[in-house]
Amino acid sequence: MKKRIDLFSQRISSKALIDYLRKIRTYSLYSFVGLLGVIVILSGIYVYFSLRLNNLSDKRNTYNRYIVLNTPFVQDLRRFAVKFSLLKSMLQDDARSYTYYKHLITIVSLAPTNGTITSFKIDSTQKTEFTIHFASYEDAIAFIEYSETAAFLDQFLNISLNEFQISGDGDVIYELMYSGSFIKLP
Amino acid sequence: MLKKKLIALIKSKLFLPTALYVVIDIVLLVFIIFIFFTCYDRYSEIKSREVEIEDLKLSADLIKGNKDLMQENVEYYNELLDKLIPHEENYFQVISALNRLENETGAIIHSYSINLNETTEKKLSLLLTVGGDEESIADLLERYLYSSGRLITNGEVTVSFDNLSSFSFAINMIHIPKEDVILPDVVIIKEDDILLLEKIGREL
């Protein structure tokens, strides 16, 4: 069993006391060296952190200066952003009638028959109604066949032939009336 | 007896250097604790500064990016947008825009009525009855957005090509009062946006 030394024991001997002091001094010396090492390391870390902080402060000041210098531009930019986002949202709600009318002309022109668009309606949700007229019954039938192909159907979300009208006394005209929705164009 | 032993201990020649070492160790330990907490503070400061700089860098980059894109033209673009979307709306401005639309396209606006269902505090929705020849109608349908000098969007159009003298053309005009302008914090402008504005500028 390890012998314990009690400083305040009256039975303690002078020699044990001296040994004990020696041990304390030795340990203190080691601790001193160790603590000095820790201080050196911590001081190094402190210096590194300080330099890094100075560096970051310089960076922050540079950015701040740039931002302050550009404050009028930023104010203009923010004012710009408000109206520009309004402009874009309004354009999103636009029917783009001319674009879709041109698109319809292209779709009709791809048919094997010559049809003429006589009426066209479109709204901002791309919902459309249009009438195409033909000079002959065969042309109208050929267009109906074309309207059942992918080339025609792929241009619409939904499309239906509402009416096939034959009118006129001398020159008979054949009209196909469609309604549906275009696929949104980019 | 104890007192005597303690006095003997203190008088021992080993006592003073030992005590000195112990005291120095304690001082060093306190110093280490002090440096440790100072370093920790610096570290925390660095971390928060890095976050701050990241935000500043983002703002600066955004400014730079937007500035490069806009090439100092932001005032011109704002003037353009102020024309397209005015801060105020009144009867004379609307009539003036419709007149200009007629003059620019050649189409004739026979009449107009307010579409109350679609009209809001900031959006005026009108149903126009328009007529003209084929060329002027095509011009109207192609150029109505900006040719009146302000933004006009089309809600719905119904054209019968057999009778171009009269067809319905629903339009929307917007305005935004200055007090309703809520400025955003972050603004990112894209190249396409500038191209759009340049195109509008040419059409106005």
Name residue B157's beta-bridge partners. A122, B169
Rounded to whole angstroms, what are the CA distances from A136 to A100, A109, A131, A162, B80? 26, 16, 15, 19, 52
Mean pLDDT computed over every residue of chain A: 88
Cβ-contact B173, B126 below 8 angstroms: yes
Asked if the Cβ–Cβ distance from B18 to A101 is below 8 Å, we say no
Going from N- to C-terminal start, the domains of chain A cover 11-91, 97-182
What distance in Å separates the CA atoms of residue B14 and residue A61, rounded to the nearest whole number? Answer: 58
User: With an 8 Å Cβ cutoff, is B154 touching chain A?
Assistant: yes
Higher-pLDDT residue of A158, B9 = A158
Summarised one tens digit per residue, pLDDT across range B89-99 is 888 999 999 99
Asked if the Cβ–Cβ distance from A46 to B35 is below 8 Å, we say yes
Rounded to two decimals, the ipTM of the complex is 0.75
Residues 6-45 on A with a CB inside 8 Å of B are 7-8, 10, 12, 14, 17-18, 21-22, 24-25, 28-29, 31-32, 35-36, 38-39, 42-43, 45
User: With an 8 Å Cβ cutoff, is B32 touching chain A?
Assistant: yes
Tell me yes or no: is domain A97-182 CATH 3.30.1360.100: yes
Which chain B residue has the Cα nearest residue A18?
Answer: B14
Summarised one tens digit per residue, pLDDT across range B41-81 is 999 999 999 999 999 998 898 888 888 888 778 889 999 99
Of A7, A56, A97, the CB nearest to B49: A56
State residue A3's pLDDT score. Answer: 53
Task: Give the range among A139-148, B111-120, B155-164, B176-185 with minimum mean pLDDT.
Answer: B176-185
User: With an 8 Å Cβ cutoff, is A166 touching chain B?
Assistant: no
Asked if the Cβ–Cβ distance from A95 to B15 is below 8 Å, we say no
User: Mapping DSSP to helix (H, G, I), strand (E, B) and coil, where does residue A165 land?
Assistant: strand
